[in-house]
Amino acid sequence: MDNRLIKIGRILYGSSILAIGLLQLCYPGFRPVILPPWSLPGQIIWVWLTGFLLIGAGLAIILEKQVYTVSLLLGGFFLALFVLGHVPYELFVDPYGQHLGVWTNALKELALSGGAFALAGSFPGEGSPSQNRHPLIRLLEKFMPLGRVFFSITMISFGIDHFLYTKGVATLVPAWIPGPIFWTYFAAVALIGSGLAIILKIELRRVAFLLATMIFMWVIVLHIPRAVAAPFGAESNEVISVFEAVNFTGIAILIAYRHYERFALPKPTL
């Protein structure tokens, strides 16, 4: 059962990366989750190149072709875009960068990076030390134990957003579900609690699986209906949100069932 769930997590992650890559090719600029609205020389070339790279990475993950190397490189790619793209933009360009709410796309990319490192960790046999391994791969392997931390930081931040912007978030709850404010607070507590528990490894498997279940429920009752209602609005933002939530579902499953023994954070020596 564990192996089947891990495979499901890989497929969910890979298929969502593939979909984001395809959507990247449908519009002239970078998807907000990839890069903020920088103006880059020859931008359309970089947009298409990034789209094709994501499509290739998604296919490799789904078909399980060189997944260990691909996922490590993908994790490093997303992390670099987060550090070199989103962080300086929010700190120095965006006039509203001091508000947590505008960091949504940046934090989503941090979660994508963490998911890629967690995905690499689901192939423990591939990560055996080797002098023949490329130095870049050996460097990226050091981030593998941080995959769940990157993902959890995003979940905790989104939970805090639910408290900071309660009225706005409550409008996302489908009208047929009573008590939108209650569910907004419930989701906030669940996200923050799950993120903290995953970081601290408190009932890690159970908490991560429950988190995956909750996010997948949002895919069904929230994201898909909104995408169907406005598939082309804001450059398919709602469609991308579907695949981002699918991606987070896969990450949570991988965190719940991947093998941590080999990639545990080193214990401090006294």
Q: pLDDT tens-digit profile of 172-213?
A: 999 999 999 999 999 999 999 999 999 999 999 999 999 999
pTM of the model: 0.92
| pLDDT at 165 > cutoff 90 | yes
Query: How large a percentage of the chain has pLDDT more than 90?
Result: 80
Domain for residue 128, yes or no? Answer: yes
Domain membership of residue 162 as a residue range: 2-257
110 in Cβ contact with 68 (< 8 Å): no
Query: How large a percentage of the chain has pLDDT more than 70?
Result: 92
Nearest by Cα to 75 from 152, 145, 156: 145
pLDDT for the residue 3: 84
121 in Cβ contact with 147 (< 8 Å): yes
Q: Provide the pLDDT confidence category of residue 123 given band limits of 50, 70 and 90.
A: confident
Neighbours of 43 (CB within 10 A): 14
235 burial type by CB count under 10 A (0-12 exposed, 13-18 middle, 19+ buried):
middle
pLDDT for the residue 40: 83
Domain for residue 218, yes or no? Answer: yes
pLDDT for the residue 124: 63
pLDDT for the residue 265: 41
pLDDT for the residue 89: 96
Summarised one tens digit per residue, pLDDT across range 217-268 is: 999 999 999 999 988 888 889 999 999 999 999 999 999 987 544 444 444 3
Domain for residue 210, yes or no? Answer: yes
pLDDT for the residue 2: 78
- The mean predicted confidence, pLDDT, of the chain is 91
Mean pLDDT computed over 71-83: 97
pLDDT for the residue 267: 43
Domain for residue 264, yes or no? Answer: no
Domain for residue 152, yes or no? Answer: yes
Summarised one tens digit per residue, pLDDT across range 20-45 is: 999 999 988 899 999 998 878 888 99
* CA geometry: angle 148, 168, 165, nearest 5 deg: 55
Domain for residue 10, yes or no? Answer: yes
Domain for residue 73, yes or no? Answer: yes
Summarised one tens digit per residue, pLDDT across range 54-68 is: 999 999 999 999 999
| Number of domains forming the structure of the chain | 1
Neighbours of 177 (CB within 10 A): 11
DSSP state of 236: T
Domain for residue 243, yes or no? Answer: yes
